[in-house]
């Protein structure tokens, strides 16, 4: 039984596959795209419970996508989770202050990622 539907926005194939595999293993519905622009197109249907956003996307980055999500009335209430390989406590603090619900460093930890994610859903 699917508990949630999450849109993964990640341009790195390994990270995208890892996130999708972990979520699917825990019966969480996943759709994955490689760019913010693709995500914006799909968000018109508003069929997701949360977004997992890489901060370093090509063209429009994850920070800009978050601003678009939060200013769009259809998506403003969606929990958005930041992921990045460039982890630091400063980046984590900036992500939360910018409106991300939580921050996850890469690579995602298969044993704890979904537990931590479900705390917010």
Domains of the chain: 5-116 (3.40.50.2300)
Task: Write down the pTM of the prediction.
Answer: 0.94
Q: Which helix (H) or strand (E) holds 113?
A: helix 113-118
DSSP H helices, 1-121, are 13-25, 36-42, 62-71, 89-98, 113-118
**Full pLDDT tens readout for the chain, 121 residues:** 568 999 999 999 999 999 999 999 999 999 999 999 999 999 987 689 999 999 999 999 999 999 999 999 999 999 999 999 887 889 999 999 999 999 999 999 988 999 999 899 8
């Amino acid at each position: 039984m699917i508990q949630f539907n999450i849109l993964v926005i990640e341009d790195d194939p390994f990270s995208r596959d890892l996130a999708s595999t972990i979520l699917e293993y825990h019966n969480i519905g996943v759709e994955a795209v490689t760019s913010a622009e693709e995500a914006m197109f799909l968000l018109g249907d508003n069929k997701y419970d949360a977004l997992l956003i890489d901060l370093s996307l090509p063209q429009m980055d994850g920070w800009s996508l978050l601003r678009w999500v939060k200013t769009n009335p259809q998506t403003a209430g969606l929990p958005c989770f930041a992921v990045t390989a460039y982890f630091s406590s400063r980046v984590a603090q900036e992500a939360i202050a910018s409106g991300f619900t939580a921050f996850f460093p890469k690579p995602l930890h298969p044993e704890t990622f979904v537990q931590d994610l479900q705390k917010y859903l």
